[in-house]
Structure 1
Amino acid sequence: MKKRAVVFSAVPIGTEMASYLQPQDFIVACDAGYRNAAKLGVRPDLIVGDFDSAPQPVTDWETIVLPHVKDDTDTQFAARWLVEHGYEEAVLLGALGGARVEHMFANISTGLYLSLHGVHTVLADSKSEMHFLLPECPLALARKDWMYLSVFALGEPMTGVTLEGVYYPLQDATLSELDYPLGTSNEFTEPIAHLQCRTGHGLVVLTRADG
């Protein structure tokens, strides 16, 4: 069985996010993320943080207290810990949206870090999921109740991009950097969409219909 972790960050989430939990998950709470874990009725196996957004809980839970002055965000520190301890899958909840837009961008960067270190990573909130498309690591994404599928290049152009099972298919295409969002708001036409690229790194966003 693959080692799988769920990482809770601080953006408030709803109870519907419990659908992302599996019985054997290792639960990591980043700072105020322990409140999200409590909302879903799970106890953290590990808490990390400098506790600038919530008081340090008084419990016997394993806790790593980080300094306020540091290079890593709390979630990035948790990501490094997961890589060092051999985790193969990670779901990040409470990492999208919220009042601090820069934190969301930082969490997307953390998701890419995990993916580049061999950890299959998903970021999710109530309206969307984010996945990462890497060279020689094709994705097969189920339609489920998703309305839109968008693909963005991260940091450098993506080459050899192939998208199948979508309204606007691509074959051996190039997606330029973030200055031209060509891959926005594609749609599923098949139960499974298949994506791959030859070079570069991509962010894949699945979104439910408006309303």
Structure 2
Amino acid sequence: MTDRFAILLAGSIDPTPALRAAVAGCRSIAADRGMAHAEPLNLVPELWIGDFDSAPPDLLERHADVSRETFPAAKDRTDGELAIEAAIRRGARRLLLVGALGGPRTDHAFAHLVLALRYAAAGFEIELFDGRERAVPLLPGENRIAAEPGAAFSILKFDDLEGLSIDGARWPLRDVDLPFDSILTQSNEAAGDEIVVRLRAGRAVLLVQTAPERI
């Protein structure tokens, strides 16, 4: 049984062939309104989790046969966090967060990036993908991220960065230290089919676009 789980979250997605390919073969768990992504992605979640304060009645009716875990609205963890923890209890080691970027709640997108950094630091393979953008936590050491030539990418900092190098980019960097408030790592472009980021210390996420001709 696979240890790769797709976690369906409430942010917007574009059910492109690239996204459908990414979730193919994954086990899946939906968090509240994230269940709306199941049908476009041809997924049947094995669990639906949350407080169900944002799931519309028709969604609840259409997926009445999916096993549910219900939590109170007043709680100290998000529905997405609960869904990730449920996946880990079921053996997840690789996590794909779908619907984690964009959508009506910017604070939710920020929380998902923070969660990605947390679980990556704990040893889980994790990425966020909505069909057009992918986000990958960057760990100290060497990080290799596939990208289409010409794809736009940025490195979002959550800390001061030490010893940052970027190869495979239109504007490479060599062993630089950057404070948190620097925007030097915004709006770069992939020069080939792989971006290589080396980092000595600090927390960051690489956000890369899917090239339109490859969607």
- Note the C-alpha offset of 1:74: 0.3
Look up the match of 2:156: 152
Look up the match of 1:21: 23
Residue type at the aligned position of 2:138: L
| Closer, same or farther: CA 205–52 of 1 in aligned 2, 3 Å | same
**Alpha-carbon distance in 1 for matches of 2:64, 2:136:** 34
- Note the C-alpha offset of 1:49: 0.6
**Alpha-carbon distance in 1 for matches of 2:20, 2:187:** 27
| Closer, same or farther: CA 146–80 of 1 in aligned 2, 3 Å | farther
Look up the match of 2:191: 189
Look up the match of 1:37: 38
Question: Gaps (5+ residues) in structure 2?
Answer: none
**Alpha-carbon distance in 2 for matches of 1:19, 1:146:** 21
Residue by residue over 1:91-128, the C-alpha shift from the partner in whole angstroms, topping out at 9 and shown as x without a partner, is 11111111111111112122222212211111112321
**Alpha-carbon distance in 2 for matches of 1:47, 1:201:** 31
- Structure 1 residue ranges (4+ consecutive) displaced by more than 4 angstroms after TM superposition: 55-58, 208-211
Residue type at the aligned position of 2:188: N
- Note the C-alpha offset of 1:44: 0.5
Which range is displaced more, 111-120 or 83-92? 83-92
- Note the C-alpha offset of 1:81: 2.7
Look up the match of 1:176: 179
- Alpha carbons 1:83, 1:114 under 8 Å: kept: no
Look up the match of 1:118: 123
Note the 1:53-132 alignment, pairs <5 A: 53-54=54-55, 55=57, 56-57=60-61, 59-132=64-137
Aligned residues: 207
**Alpha-carbon distance in 2 for matches of 1:130, 1:194:** 14
SS in 2 for 1:107: helix
- Note the C-alpha offset of 1:36: 0.6
Residue type at the aligned position of 2:143: L
Look up the match of 1:166: 169
- Alpha carbons 1:145, 1:208 under 8 Å: kept: no
So what's the TM-score if we normalise by structure 1? Answer: 0.88
**Alpha-carbon distance in 1 for matches of 2:21, 2:211:** 19
Residue type at the aligned position of 2:160: P
Residue type at the aligned position of 1:29: A
> Are 1:141 and 2:145 counterparts?
yes
Which range is displaced more, 95-104 or 143-152? 143-152
Q: Report percent identity of matched pairs.
A: 29
Residue type at the aligned position of 1:48: I
- Note the C-alpha offset of 1:19: 2.4
**Alpha-carbon distance in 2 for matches of 1:197, 1:187:** 19
- Alpha carbons 2:12, 2:102 under 8 Å: kept: no
Residue type at the aligned position of 2:195: A
Residue type at the aligned position of 2:14: G
SS in 2 for 1:32: helix
RMSD of equivalent CA atoms: 2.2
